[in-house]
Amino acid sequence: MKMRFILSAAYAAIAVAMATPAAARGIGETVTPHFQQTIPNIPGKSLSSGVVYRAAPD
């Protein structure tokens, strides 16, 4: 019984993980890079930002 619960929870987690990226991007959404700059005192790190344009909800 405990194994059945663990498997059910694992299947549910996989289903949610697979559905989230599909729901995160919809029709009418555009992501445009706005700014990117390396951080001089932290090697390998950078600061970046973007603008997200979304269509008006129905």
pLDDT for 54:
79
DSSP-derived pairing of the beta strands 46-53 and 30-38: antiparallel
More confident residue, 3 or 32: 32
More confident: 7 or 46: 46
Cα three-residue angle 4-6-7, rounded to 5 degrees = 65
Which residue in this structure is represented by tokens 């992501």? 31
Maximum pairwise Cα distance, the chain: 56
What's the pLDDT tens digit per position in 8-52? 777 677 766 665 555 555 567 788 888 889 989 988 899 889 888
- Rounded to 5 degrees, φ, ψ at 11 are -65, -40
pTM of the model: 0.40
Query: Higher confidence at residue 6 or residue 1?
Result: 6
CB 52, CB 30: distance < 8 Å: yes
Domain range annotation of the chain: 2-53
